């Protein structure tokens, strides 16, 4: 019998495919408001503020990438979404690779950090830990951002986009053949199939 608090032993590739979808949704939500002047299909999104939605997708994708790396190491994980706890469950070589990528791209996170915290100074290692702890519950907090007190001090989505790319890069270092793999089953459909054009 499956223990209630232990997730099923999903295949790493299947987790990766779903993570890719949410990463792409994050990027589309980020880019769509900027594309209305160029592509009529995106005119409905011109100037919209949908960053919360994009962060939720990004945080969800990061959790899935972490779970993928855990399963690549043939380990199980509990039914949790706290990013710092998932990070500690993966193999040490995966954690080291993610930290290396983060350090190599530290300027992206540090520029944001220094704007938000002009009086604080952190080493590269401490900045990584600060971001990981701050992002630990980003998927939940950003979903319910309208509830007072959901986003506490030093939490939210800090350096998370770099972590997403770091985890994804690590997975593709191990399995480069997974680049571009897409879901084939189950095949979902939505009613939003045609572009929406404004009434003139």
Q: Which of 74-83, 134-143, 181-190 is the least confident region?
A: 181-190
Q: Is the pLDDT of residue 126 over 90?
A: yes
Cα angle at 42 between 37 and 48, to 5 degrees? 85
Element (H, E) at 143: helix 138-143
Q: What percent of the chain has pLDDT over 90?
A: 52
CA distances from 133 to 6, 14, 82, 156 (A): 23, 27, 9, 10
* DSSP code at position 6: B
Quick one: average pLDDT of 88-99?
Answer: 96
Q: Which of 32-46, 100-114, 129-143, 150-164 is the least confident region?
A: 32-46
**Residues written for the chain:** 200
Looking at residue 82, what is its pLDDT? Answer: 92
What residues form DSSP beta bridges with 78?
Answer: 6
CA distances from 60 to 19, 41, 57, 152, 186 (A): 7, 26, 5, 19, 20
Quick one: average pLDDT of 90-113?
Answer: 95
How many other C-beta atoms are found inside a 10 Å radius of the C-beta of residue 29?
A: 20
Quick one: average pLDDT of 150-178?
Answer: 90
CA 33, CA 64: separation in Å to the nearest integer? Answer: 26
Considering only the C-alpha atoms of the chain, give the largest distance between any 2 of them, rounded to a whole number of Å: 60
Looking at residue 194, what is its pLDDT? Answer: 53
Quick one: average pLDDT of 63-74?
Answer: 93
* DSSP code at position 14: H
- Are 9 and 76 in contact by the 8 Å Cβ rule? The answer is yes
């Amino acid at each position: 019998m499956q223990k209630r608090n232990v997730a099923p032993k999903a295949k790493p590739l299947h987790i990766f495919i779903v993570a890719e979808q949410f990463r792409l949704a994050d990027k589309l939500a980020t880019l769509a408001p900027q594309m209305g002047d160029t592509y009529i299909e995106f005119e409905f999104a011109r100037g919209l503020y949908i960053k919360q939605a994009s962060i939720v997708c990004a945080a969800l994708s990061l959790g899935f990438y972490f779970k993928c790396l855990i399963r690549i190491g043939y380990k199980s994980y509990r039914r949790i979404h706290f990013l710092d706890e998932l990070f500690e469950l993966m193999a040490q070589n995966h954690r080291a690779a993610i930290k290396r990528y983060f350090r190599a791209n530290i300027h992206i996170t540090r520029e944001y950090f220094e704007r938000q915290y002009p009086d604080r100074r952190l080493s590269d290692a401490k900045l990584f830990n600060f971001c990981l702890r701050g992002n630990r519950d980003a998927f939940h907090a950003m979903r319910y951002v309208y509830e007072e007190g959901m986003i506490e001090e030093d939490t939210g989505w800090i350096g998370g986009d770099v972590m997403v790319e770091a985890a994804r890069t690590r997975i593709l270092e191990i399995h480069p053949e997974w680049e571009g793999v897409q879901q084939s089953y189950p095949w979902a459909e939505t009613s939003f199939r045609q572009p929406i054009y404004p009434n003139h």
